[in-house]
Amino acid sequence: MDLPSTFDVIFPQALPSTYDNHTVRKLSSMKGQFADQQAYARLLDKEDVVLYEVYEFKRPQEAGELLYGISVVHPGKVGDEYYMTKGHFHAVRETAEVYYCLKGQGVMVMETPEGDWAVEELRPGKVLYVPPCWAHRSVNTGSQEDLVTFFVYPGHAGHDYGTIEQYGFRKLVIEVNGQLQIVDNPRWQAPGERP
Ligand code: PA5
Ligand code: NI
């Protein structure tokens, strides 16, 4: 029998007091995902920096369960493009997700299989509902602080990284003269025009 459980979010870092899994994603695992390939190669040559980390709680991956944890995207840029997560659709497309921003500043980049897109701001206290079928990627647009979010999604959702790996998201989040800009991703193809 499961017993109720709790954990604390320890501020100011906004990290969990306990967790079951800790995933560390480094630059080398994001080959081809940043638009400026030369900037990517130069940075990787210097150091395989940690882009983001995920702390998760282990629960059965089945309907009725909730999977939850804390995601930490570090500050930085590859060329003009802010550090970000890989991003994914859920393997079971009709599953949603909720994010609650605990620290830092950033955005969630989202899109549907039909090519609709949305970008929503994340800042401490902000709750974001990602509806079923929307792919999602967290982007840290701050210059100093980690972007820390709490997330929760259905146990049977699964992850589909393939589509995003191949085409990226429709929109890129970059910095131009110190300002955040949302621009078209040249690698993206409309779903109807994909081979
Ligand atoms: O379930 C989620 O959407 C999050 O837990 C993400 O998995 C987390 O932010 C890391 O992103 P990604 O899975 O795209 O590498
Ligand atoms: Ni998700």
What residue type is assigned to position 147 of the chain? L
* Helix ranges restricted to H, the chain: 37-46, 162-167
pLDDT at residue 5 in the model: 97
pLDDT at residue 132 in the model: 98
Ligand positioned closest to the Cα atom of 86: 1
What's the 77 CA to ligand 1 centre distance in angstroms?
19
**pLDDT tens-digit map of 136-148:** 999 999 999 999 9
Cβ–ligand 1 contact at 54 (below 6 Å): yes
Hunting for tokens 């994001």 — which residue is that? 30
Among the listed residues 136, 152, 134, 154, the one whose alpha carbon sits nearest the alpha carbon of residue 93? 134
Cβ–ligand 1 contact at 95 (below 6 Å): no
Residues of the chain under the 70 pLDDT cut: none
Cβ–ligand 1 contact at 85 (below 6 Å): yes
Which tokens is 51 given? Answer: 């882009």
pLDDT at residue 32 in the model: 97
pLDDT at residue 1 in the model: 87
Determine the Cα–Cα distance for residues 150 and 68; give it in Å rounded to an integer.
7
Statement: the pTM of the whole predicted model exceeds 0.95: yes
b/e burial code for range 67-100 (CB count within 10 A of at least 16 → b): bbbbbbbbbbbbebbbbbbbbbbbeeeebebebb
